[in-house]
């Protein structure tokens, strides 16, 4: 099952096309809407004030509530855009954003409004695709779940700590990042391969790094392995419940690029939102001179809480690929 996401942040709509979707999957639209609502903007002071209904409209691939096996296409309209807020970004790329790289990539012809195709807005159709993947995995008793594991350097923050860190950064005209830990349960041992293209960690990473704000991925103990000894890092085997298990899961359910029967676990690092209200240094691409930039418009002081369903969506799509769906 392959997918392609289309559209721009301030275009008329964004959407996704999924190919090779199994026929006969009951498309639970209430579940899909609930997944999109978890990611949607404009819900509280921790997010951008932009408000979008994020109501998906199915164009093809579904008949009488079930997938047909034909390409599944869904679109989500953009209804709350303020393109004038981005007029200066035509020539003044935002530090940390994809503005400059995208300008070069598109030979100056890209849609810069709201970040265009590089915007986090494009994660909405990704969540739609991931919700479809979750519905497929549900029939196989495979589940994907994620949680915030760090915000602004605070491990496992309480809701109050998260709010304090995010609103504090917002008051300083700044932003914060964090980490999300994700678990895939129900996968059997033996999936994947050690080589390129079939490696479990490689498949997941390919999907995860397609999420714009992800800058690092670590499986199991991740970077923590660097501080461990082998006696600490190894996961002892045991016979439990009629199958081989491990007493710990530092390896994140993967050995040699292959699932070992434990939960596949990984953590991703989400960078602080690049669009901040503080004055920053940039280059005027029209005059090729150093310049100053103060970003206007509506932006998230933190996207970690909104990114949780996005990471789950990417993981669900990766899991489907790993299972050969």
Binding annotation for NADP(+): 39
Would you call 39 helix, strand, or coil by DSSP? helix
Pairing mode, if any, of strands 13-19 and 2-7?
antiparallel
Please give the annotated binding residues, written as ranges: 39, 117-119, 256, 298
Pairing mode, if any, of strands 143-151 and 154-155?
antiparallel
Structure tokens at 231: 């006696």
In whole angstroms, give the CA distance from residue 95 to residue 291.
Answer: 12
Structure tokens at 113: 């409004």
| Residue 39: Cβ within 10 Å count | 25
DSSP of 204-231, one letter per residue? HHHHHTTSTTEEEEEETTGGGGGG--HH
Element (H, E) at 124: helix 123-138
Please give the annotated binding residues for FMN, written as ranges: 117-119, 256, 298
Is the CB of residue 186 less than 8 Å from the CB of residue 216? no
Pairing mode, if any, of strands 62-63 and 237-240?
unpaired
In whole angstroms, give the CA distance from residue 300 to residue 178.
Answer: 13
């Amino acid at each position: 099952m392959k997918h392609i996401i289309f559209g721009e942040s301030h275009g008329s709509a964004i959407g996704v096309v999924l190919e090779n979707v199994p026929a006969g999957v009951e498309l639970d639209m209430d579940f899909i809407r609930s997944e999109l609502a978890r990611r949607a903007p404009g819900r509280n002071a921790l997010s951008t004030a932009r408000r979008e209904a994020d109501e998906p409209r199915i164009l093809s691939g579904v008949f009488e509530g079930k997938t047909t096996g034909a390409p599944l296409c869904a679109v989500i309209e953009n209804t709350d855009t303020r393109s004038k807020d981005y007029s200066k970004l035509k020539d003044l790329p935002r530090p940390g954003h994809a503005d400059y790289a995208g300008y070069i990539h598109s030979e100056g012809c890209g849609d810069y409004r709201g970040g265009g195709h590089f915007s986090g807005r494009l994660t909405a159709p990704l969540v739609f695709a991931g919700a479809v993947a979750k519905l497929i995995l549900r029939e196989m008793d495979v589940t994907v779940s994620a949680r915030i594991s760090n915000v602004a350097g605070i491990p496992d923050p309480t809701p109050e700590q998260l709010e304090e860190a995010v609103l504090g950064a917002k008051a300083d005209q700044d932003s914060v990042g964090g980490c999300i830990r994700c678990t895939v349960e129900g996968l059997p041992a033996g999936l994947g391969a050690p080589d390129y293209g079939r490696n479990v960690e490689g498949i997941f990473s390919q999907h995860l790094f397609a999420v714009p704000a992800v800058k690092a991925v670590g499986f199991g103990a991740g970077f923590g392995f660097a501080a461990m000894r082998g006696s600490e890092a190894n996961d002892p085997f045991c016979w439990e419940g009629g199958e081989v298990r491990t007493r710990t899961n530092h390896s994140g359910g993967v050995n040699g690029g292959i699932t070992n029967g434990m939960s596949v676990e990984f953590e991703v690092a989400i960078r602080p939102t690049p669009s901040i209200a503080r004055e920053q240094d940039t280059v005027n691409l029209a005059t090729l001179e150093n310049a100053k930039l103060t970003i206007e418009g509506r932006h998230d002081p933190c996207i970690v809480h909104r990114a949780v369903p996005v990471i789950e969506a990417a993981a669900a799509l990766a899991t489907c690929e790993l299972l050969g769906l």
